[in-house]
Amino acid sequence: MATAAIAEQSGKVVIRNIGRMLSGDLEHPILDADTIVVNDGKIIAVGKEKDCDTEGARTVIDCRGTVVSPGLIDSHVHPVAGDWTPRQNQIGWIDSSLHGGVTTMISAGEVHYPGRPKDIVGLKALAIASQRAFEAFRPGGVKVIAGAPVIEKGMVESDFAELAAAGVKLLGEVGLGSVKAGDEARQMVAWARKHGIQSTIHTGGPSIPGSGLIDKDVVLEADADIIGHINGGHTSLPYKDVCELCERSTRGIELVHNGNERISILTARHAHELKCLHRVILGTDGPAGSGVQPLGILRMIAQLASLADIPTEVAFCFATGNTARMRDLDCGLIEVGRAADFVFMDRAQHTAGKNFLESIQLGDLPGVGMVMVDGIVRCQRSRNTPPAMEVPVISH
């Protein structure tokens, strides 16, 4: 299935009768459009149906007035081998997340790998193997960007150059290995950045054996590209320290499901006050001791919309366009040239909300009616969300 997911071409797909289109772009989160045209996995037109070339489509999807958003991006996962996690001894967690609207996942390190090597040769080998494996295997069609080494003492610049040359684009959470001092982390983060590798730093109390407290001073000195789970994973720094990180750093502010919920809400409000919502991205930080959360990203969106007073359409940007731009991905935004990764949703049956946006602002999850990756429908009515009022209809 995974090989087919990469090799199969969507042909021309017309998505019509869209009730509301969420762009993923903070500047224009709702588009005045009702049609998307796709060819071979890429968006080739967005607009009103009368203005789009809809002839000769291999597939037509009638949205029946439902909502289309870019596929959701989970900015913080810990994959291991295929669609299995030893952390909870669970199979199918990635495919299950597809049913929660997630089409792309970003590894923050394959830290739960049984017997994870901690010597420099071994950690580089694991990172390269993970990158290769997930590049060739897409559980349920989900794109997993993996191969994120946990840095250890003794690494030198040539190690990062070697990883980059092999195709590794990420570092695992800085602080989960033996490198915990700010000055040492800063040097390695700089080497990684020089060679095109993006970094994330653990923030807060320890999460697994071998990790430790990473406080605000270490985070600021290390200057990683992403302040990983700023709301703790699981244990948060004091809120005043979180505020200082938001104010003194210009790096990504990552909020996760498996963190302190109160701090995630307060942080989103503070980011709004600081006018830096473009820095906010969302992850689940699963699999973890809390388990795996197929609806974790949707739950984060609903939490921030209902309790942090973030407009629903803006909260969706945190899990789509913000992450795509920060991570340099070709998905996450509904615009010509981007990957045709979409989640089709409607308000849940019997929600108190009068429409889709209001239902989430009230704290309810939406119903997912379909998920598309690279122009190919990967699932229809979700087995995990509440049932949607309406679902799209496919014709060929």
For residues 177 and 214, the answer to whether their CB atoms sit within 8 Å is no
Q: How confident is the model at residue 8, as a pLDDT?
A: 79
Closest CA to 334 of 22, 26, 61, 102: 22
Please state whether 277 falls in left (phi above 0), alpha (psi between -120 and 50) or beta. Answer: alpha
**Alpha-carbon torsion, ordered 186, 248, 235, 86, to 10 deg:** -50
The per-residue pLDDT for 9 is 87
Residue 240 lies in a domain: yes
Residue entry with tokens 């209809």: 393
Residues 234 and 346 in one domain: no
Confidence band of 207 (pLDDT split at 50, 70, 90): confident
Condensed to tens digits (0 to 9), the pLDDT of residues 136-166 reads 999 999 999 999 999 999 999 999 999 999 9
d(CA 373, CA 338): 11
Task: Look at residues 293, 295, 301 and name the one whose alpha carbon lies nearest to residue 356.
Answer: 301
**What pLDDT, on a 0 to 100 scale, did the predictor assign at position 5?**
45
Same domain, 108 and 181: yes
Q: Note the pLDDT of residue 209.
A: 65
Q: Are residues 153 and 214 in the same domain?
A: yes
Sheet of strand 226-227, all strands in order from the earlier edge strand to the far edge: 200-201, 226-227, 252-256, 280-283
Residue at token pair 């909870």 = 88
Same domain membership, residue 98 and residue 212: yes
The rounded distance, in Å, linking the Cα atoms of 78 and 126 is: 13
- Note whether 55 and 181 are same-domain residues: no
Let me know whether 135 and 157 are in one domain.
yes
How high is the pLDDT of residue 283? 98
The DSSP output letter for 39 is E
Shared-domain flag, residues 214 and 118: yes
Q: Based on the fold, state whether residues 203 and 350 are members of the same structural domain.
A: no
In this structure, how many other beta carbons lie within 10 angstroms of the beta carbon of residue 55? 7
| Domain C-terminal end among 294, 323, 342 | 294
Residue 306 placed within a domain? no
202, part of any domain: yes
Percent of the chain whose predicted confidence (pLDDT) is above 90: 94
Q: Which H or E run contains 91?
A: strand 90-91
Tokens 């930080």 map to which residue?
285
Single out the residue in 294, 309, 340 at which a domain terminates: 294
Instruction: Assess whether pLDDT exceeds 70 at residue 66.
Output: yes
Say which CATH number the domain at 116 has.
3.20.20.140
Is residue 95 in a domain? yes
Q: What's the average model confidence in pLDDT over 353-365?
A: 98
Whether residue 221 sits in one domain with residue 116: yes
146 part of a folded domain: yes
The domain spanning residue 338 has which CATH number? 2.30.40.10
Q: How many CA atoms lie within 13 A of 30 on its CB side?
A: 11
227-268, pLDDT tens digit by residue? 999 999 889 999 999 999 999 999 999 999 999 999 999 999
Residue 1's pLDDT is 32
Is the residue at 349 inside a domain? yes
Residues 382-393 pLDDT 10s = 999 999 999 999
Q: How far is the C-alpha of 323 from the C-alpha of 326, rounded, in Å?
A: 5
Count CB atoms within 10 A of the CB of residue 165: 11
The helix/strand/coil state of 138 is: coil
Q: Indicate the pLDDT class of residue 103, thresholds 50, 70 and 90.
A: very high
44 in a structural domain: yes
| Cα 19-22-24 angle, rounded to 5 deg | 170
Q: Residue 307 pLDDT > 60, yes or no?
A: yes
Average pLDDT over the chain, rounded to an integer: 96
Asked, for residue 43, whether it belongs to a domain, the answer is yes
pLDDT reading at 337 higher than 60: yes
Q: Do 194 and 271 have their domain in common?
A: yes
**To the nearest 10°, the Cα dihedral for 288, 290, 292, 293?**
-130
**Burial (CB count <10 Å: 0-12, 13-18, 19+), residue 396:** exposed
Count of structural domains within the chain: 2
Q: Does 265 share its domain with 117?
A: yes
Q: Tell me what the mean pLDDT of segment 111-133 comes to.
A: 97
pLDDT in the model for residue 47: 98
Chosen domain end from 234, 265, 294: 294
Q: Are residues 230 and 338 in the same domain?
A: no
Domain encompassing residue 23: 2-70+332-395
Q: How does pLDDT run across 30-52, given as a tens digit for each residue?
A: 999 999 999 999 999 999 999 99
Residue 74, classed as helix, strand or coil, is: strand
> What angle, 0 to 180 degrees and rounded to 10, lies between the N-to-C axes of helices 261-273 and 296-307?
60
Cα–Cα dist 151/184, whole Å: 11
